[in-house]
Amino acid sequence: MNAINTIGVLTSGGDAPGMNAAIRAVVRASIFHDKKCKAIYRGYQGLIDNDIVSTTPRSVNNIINKGGTMLKSARCLEFRTKEGRKKAYENINKNNIDALVVIGGDGSFTGAMIFQKEFGVPVIGIPGTIDNDIFGTSHTIGYDTALNTVTEVIDKIRDTAISHNRLFFVEVMGRDAGHIALNAGIGSGAEEILIPEEDMGIERMLDSLKRSEKSGKSSSIVVVAEGDKTGKNVFELAAYVEKNMPHYEVRVSVLGHMQRGGAPSCFDRVLASRMGVFAVESLLDGKSNIMVGIDNDTMILTDLDKAIKGKSNINKNLIRVSDILTI
Ligand code: ADP
């Protein structure tokens, strides 16, 4: 591997709060170690279009507290082709970039891995996604903020649910992973939580709601992950309960993209800062084709292919805790 003098940084795929803190950390850690850092706009699209700028420590002033990503993100079809990646490589050379830090999810890491194999450019991934669905880290950047956002919103929904004796179905993000639903569900005291990993069964949910009603609850909240295993979407679930418990007023709230927005939590800012510094130092240590992560408050590295193929399991004990606490 050639010596690294200039590190490129980009954000790719779905944005997540805390990505800016990670960009800031990569820029400043590079310069701290007497290297240059170039910022690439719009993910892989910017690499192909040569939308690349030099940075100084001041380029990343006042972004640690901002949601989204100042570098913008993009889904880039062209990078999926060999010709597109060749253009990207030409611009890497034009800008004298010796290594790449990719902040994104598993799609972005797949692109990075292919690029590294084809052209030998060292790459390192920083996991940024609110879904927390990446193997090799207990937390991804943005996840904690999303949990806080969702919990806060469900608290508000609870106010109106109580006032009207309503049953609310709240759909949260998570096509393949129930991390947000499970944790925000427990955090907001939800009656039932439906996730992609476990088939809780629609009848079980109905029984639980009936039991709760008998025990004196007059309003309830059911948190449903987008990809929940019952195979029914949130509107179908609501219709089913309405049919079987006709005296209940049922409402649906789909939280959608607001879950990705907002200022990052302190946890995400610190996590992103640590990951950014660790990513740069790992690259300078000669590491490549890996992802930085955190486990038990310790920074760790995982091979990119393992991070992509592996599954980040939910903590099944949380299901039990939720069951116990919703008697
Ligand atoms: P995320 O990183 O959040 O999972 P995507 O799956 O949309 O988001 O991936 C982000 C970008 O990574 C894609 O738009 C594409 O440019 C690149 N990418 C994803 N998969 C591949 C692939 N198999 N080959 C090359 N590039 C890819």
pLDDT at 231: 82
Query: Catalytic residue among 15, 106, 131, 133, which?
Result: 131
Indicate whether residue 171 lines ligand 1 (CB < 6 A): no
Q: How far apart are the CA of 252 and the centre of ligand 1, in A?
A: 32
Hey, whose CA ends up nearest to atom 6 of ligand 1? Answer: 107
Q: How far apart are the CA of 12 and the centre of ligand 1, in A?
A: 8
Q: How far apart are CA 16 and CA 133, in angstroms?
A: 13
pTM of the model: 0.96
Spatial CB neighbours of 104, under 8 Å, sequence gap ≥ 6? 11, 12, 13, 14, 43, 73, 125, 126, 127, 128, 129
pLDDT (tens digit per residue) in 138-157: 999 999 999 999 999 999 99
Q: How far apart are the CA of 135 and the centre of ligand 1, in A?
A: 17
Confidence of residue 326 (pLDDT cuts 50, 70, 90): confident
Hey, whose CA ends up nearest to atom 7 of ligand 1? Answer: 13
Indicate whether residue 129 lines ligand 1 (CB < 6 A): yes
Indicate whether residue 76 lines ligand 1 (CB < 6 A): yes
pLDDT at 204: 87
Indicate whether residue 116 lines ligand 1 (CB < 6 A): no
Confidence of residue 1 (pLDDT cuts 50, 70, 90): low
Please state the domain extents for the chain: 6-142+264-309, 144-260
Fold matches, 6-142+264-309 and 144-260: yes
Q: Residue 38: pLDDT above 60? A: yes
pLDDT at 200: 77
Q: Residue 2: pLDDT above 80? A: no
Q: Residue 212: pLDDT above 90? A: no
Averaged confidence pLDDT in the chain: 95
In this prediction, residues 261-285 reach a mean pLDDT of: 98
Centre a 10 Å sphere on the Cβ of residue 161 and count the other Cβ atoms it contains.
21
Mutate which of 40, 45, 49, 80 for ligand 1? The one with the most ligand atoms within 8 Å of its CB, which is 80
One-letter amino acid for residue 86 of the chain: K
pLDDT (tens digit per residue) in 14-25: 999 999 999 999
pLDDT (tens digit per residue) in 112-136: 999 999 999 999 999 999 999 999 9
One-letter amino acid for residue 298 of the chain: T
pLDDT (tens digit per residue) in 84-118: 999 999 999 999 999 999 999 999 999 999 999 99
Q: Residue 317: pLDDT above 60? A: yes
Higher pLDDT, 1 or 165: 165
User: What's the CATH code, domain 6-142+264-309?
Assistant: 3.40.50.450
Q: How far apart are CA 132 and CA 311, in angstroms?
A: 10
pLDDT at 157: 96
Are 48 and 91 within 8 A, CB to CB?
A: yes
pLDDT (tens digit per residue) in 225-244: 998 888 889 999 999 999 99
Calculate ∠ Cα 294-298-302, nearest 5°.
50
In this prediction, residues 33-57 reach a mean pLDDT of: 98
Mutate which of 10, 11, 12 for ligand 1? The one with the most ligand atoms within 8 Å of its CB, which is 12
**Atom in ligand 1 nearest the alpha carbon of residue 129:** 3
pLDDT at 280: 98
Percent of the chain with pLDDT over 70: 99
- Chain CA centroid to CA 239, Å: 30
In this prediction, residues 263-289 reach a mean pLDDT of: 98
Q: How far apart are CA 99 and CA 42, in angstroms?
A: 18
pLDDT at 22: 98
pLDDT at 282: 98
**Atom in ligand 1 nearest the alpha carbon of residue 109:** 2
Q: In whole angstroms, how far apart are CA 127 and each of 22, 177, 252, 268?
A: 10, 15, 31, 11
Q: How far apart are the CA of 77 and the centre of ligand 1, in A?
A: 8
What are the beta bridge partners of residue 103? Answer: 11, 126
Quickly tell me which residue has 């990809």 as its tokens: 227
Tokens read off for 261: 């927005």
Indicate whether residue 84 lines ligand 1 (CB < 6 A): no
Q: Residue 215: pLDDT above 90? A: no
Does the annotation count 131 as an active-site position? yes
pLDDT at 304: 98
In this prediction, residues 164-170 reach a mean pLDDT of: 91
Q: Residue 299: pLDDT above 90? A: yes
For the 144-260 domain, the top CATH level (class) is alpha beta
Q: How far apart are the CA of 108 and the centre of ligand 1, in A?
A: 4
